[in-house]
Structure 1
Amino acid sequence: MSHYLHPAEYLPHDTPMLLLEDVINVTDDTTICEVTVTETGVLGPFIDDRGSLPGWYALELMAQTVGVWSGWHRKQHGQDSISLGMVLGARELVCAAGILPANARLTITVKLLMQDERFGSFECAISVGNETLATGRINTFQPTTEELTTLFHQGSTA
């Protein structure tokens, strides 16, 4: 049995936008999460008419796995609050088949390439067994509380 908590304990996401089912491993510079592409699972609302997940969801699966990495490390340092992070962009994001296939157990792996106080870069892959289905590099940003307040309250005082 895994000694990791459910992904929801590390992410600021709720159903239906929580797209991961299991945290498999977290180290100083890597995280591995899994999810199964089924109509009855967490990906159910996003499945196409063939039972597959459209390939553009690869970015969000990778980003949420980065979020698990960040959330796990925050908990290890005694910070229980979940912090909102942002994807600045993705480079060389490729999902060759254009889909993540029906009934596949997806393994999402992220590896830290670079990090400072607020920015990070991660090499990411989604695979089924030994077959890699999607790859890319995700660049992330950790906004301050003040920046988040400004972002989410812009225009709400008019």
Structure 2
Amino acid sequence: MSDYLSAAHYLPHAAPMVLLDRVIAVSDDGAHCQVRVSHDGVLAPFLDAQGQLPAWFGVEIIAQTVGVWSGWHGLQADGATPQPGMLLGGRGYRAQQPCFSGGALLDVQVKLLMRDAKIGSFEGQIFIDGEPVAAGRLNTYQPDRHELQQLLQQDLPS
């Protein structure tokens, strides 16, 4: 297994919007990341009064795992800095519980189902102690630089 940098290295986000701790693996058709639900971790700003993370955050955690997959592949291909992607939608996201408990280690795995030049579809799952606790399918869009400029109505640095 290769050594990976922190998840933030592969994402176009800055704290506190990085919701992943570690990259475990990236392959041609998937990625595996982890994050711990903890008051002293990256999820701390989003925990409720009981130290739990609402399960609907799972959609973004899965989306960021897709972002790690994309960012890692971009770096391998041409050394490019991670580019913003867009979550077009999700299908069938279901969580087995309303919150992820404090102290839980969330194992997040995504698998590429389909991809063309800009659109991808990924199946994502979140596990705690090897048991699936949330899953769903996400559809993503990777705009090119010109499209990003149009969307943001501004010039991006070279």
> Normalised by the shorter chain, which TM-score bucket?
over 0.9
Point out where structure 2 has 5 or more consecutive residues left out of the alignment. none
1:6 equivalent in alignment to 2:1: no
Structure 1 residue 96, shift from structure 2 partner: 2.3
Question: Whole-Å Cα distance in 1 between the matches of residues 57 and 138 of structure 2?
Answer: 13
Structure 1 residue 2, shift from structure 2 partner: 5.8
Question: Aligned with 1:77: secondary structure?
Answer: helix
Question: Whole-Å Cα distance in 1 between the matches of residues 76 and 149 of structure 2?
Answer: 26
Which residue number corresponds to residue 85 of structure 2?
85
Which residue number corresponds to residue 45 of structure 1?
45
Question: Aligned with 2:3: secondary structure?
Answer: coil
Q: Which amino acid aligns with 1:30?
A: G
Point out where structure 1 has 5 or more consecutive residues left out of the alignment. none
Which residue number corresponds to residue 144 of structure 2?
144
Structure 1 residue 78, shift from structure 2 partner: 2.2
**TM superposition score normalised by structure 2:** 0.93
Runs of 4+ in 1 over 3 A off after TM superposition: none
Question: Aligned with 1:133: secondary structure?
Answer: strand
* 1:9-158 correspondence runs (5 A): 9-153=9-153
> Could you say if the C-alpha distance between residues 48 and 2 of structure 1 is closer, same or farther in structure 2, counting changes exceeding 3 Å?
farther
Using the aligned pairs only, state the percent identity.
48
Structure 1 residue 67, shift from structure 2 partner: 0.3
Question: Aligned with 1:74: secondary structure?
Answer: helix
Cα RMSD of the aligned pairs, angstroms, is: 1.3
